[in-house]
Amino acid sequence: MRYLFLFIFFGCSQITIQAKTSPYFDEHLQSGLNNFKHWQAVLDICKPNYKQLQKLNGCISRARTALNNNTSTPSTTTHYSFEPEMVFVKGGSFQMGSNGGEEDEKPVHSVTLSGYYIGKYEVTQKQWRDVMGSDPAKLAFPGCDDCPVERVSWEDVQTFLQNLNSKTGKNYRLPTEAEWEFAALGGNSSKNYTYSGSNNVNDVAWYKENSDSKTHPVGGKQINELNIYDMTGNVWEWCSDWYDEKYYESSPSQNPKGASSGSLRVNRGGSWRLTTVYCRLTNRNGNGPTFREQFLGFRVALSSQ
């Protein structure tokens, strides 16, 4: 028999609540309970019922719903201030690509993904500096802590990830191209928008027509269906995959990870510098692993197991 223990502190007093929770004690509730940030959400929902144990199961069910929408990485270890805020993307199936887009977006094909976590925001200048010790050498828009870091190559990002994982004991990585597109589309909650979160690009993206030719602080536009920001515009985002323009013709249907080799790495999402054509969710791009530019950054991912 499994039990949930809630320790609620009021000043110097402590009340312990015990209730059967087996119908509700799944990984999402546990993830929330393991993360200090989301204790308050549990307490706010459950505290009014602490004297009524017979109601606690229903209370926990509501807490579970709230925590299913949380934006933090589940962890039993310390969460450091420089770690990216993460959103859980529940596994599912979707139609990847576009038969009406460029040739490398064809054919539309079915993809099924396991659950994973992806950054709620693009990695910022401050996060890069906190992990690496300094800004990238040729940062185009310095002095904006909350702006996405840019002019970082795919290989630079691998060094960042190694340092981040060394500091945290976790296994952060770049998302696969399929994970990126599924999250940008809104996962299982997708409304099939043209851009990430809207059919109106101005709602969700910094791009050529509104960016004033520069990056902008992350999170300044509308969220998508998964509460993720800036998956359209601001900066292109590196993915883990090798780029292959014909990959969709032979892509595995289960958790595809891209071509086995190549000369270019995938980046997705468009940027502040480009028009709406490049901001479409299915648009693909590739650059060499050492390529650095003022319109190219990244966000991180984390496997759920």
Q: How far apart are the first and last CA of the chain?
A: 24
Residue 37: which residues within 8 A CB-CB, separation 6 or more? 70, 72, 79
Helices (H), 69-153: 125-132
Across 1-5, 228-232, 249-253, least confident range: 1-5
Quote the pTM value.
0.77
Q: What confidence tier does 138 reach under pLDDT thresholds 50, 70, 90?
A: very high
Residue 245: which residues within 8 A CB-CB, separation 6 or more? 103, 104, 284
Residue 206 · residue 235 · CB < 8 Å = no
Q: Specify the pLDDT at position 274.
A: 97
Task: Give residue 230's region: left, alpha or beta (phi > 0; psi -120 to 50).
Answer: left
Helices (H), 198-274: 201-204
Q: What confidence tier does 19 reach under pLDDT thresholds 50, 70, 90?
A: very low
Residue 163 has pLDDT above 70, yes or no: yes
Q: Specify the pLDDT at position 60.
A: 54
Helices (H), the chain: 27-34, 39-46, 56-68, 125-132, 154-168, 177-185, 201-204
Q: Specify the pLDDT at position 79.
A: 78
Q: Specify the pLDDT at position 103.
A: 97
> Which candidate, 138, 133, 148, 89, places its Cα nearest to that of 113?
89
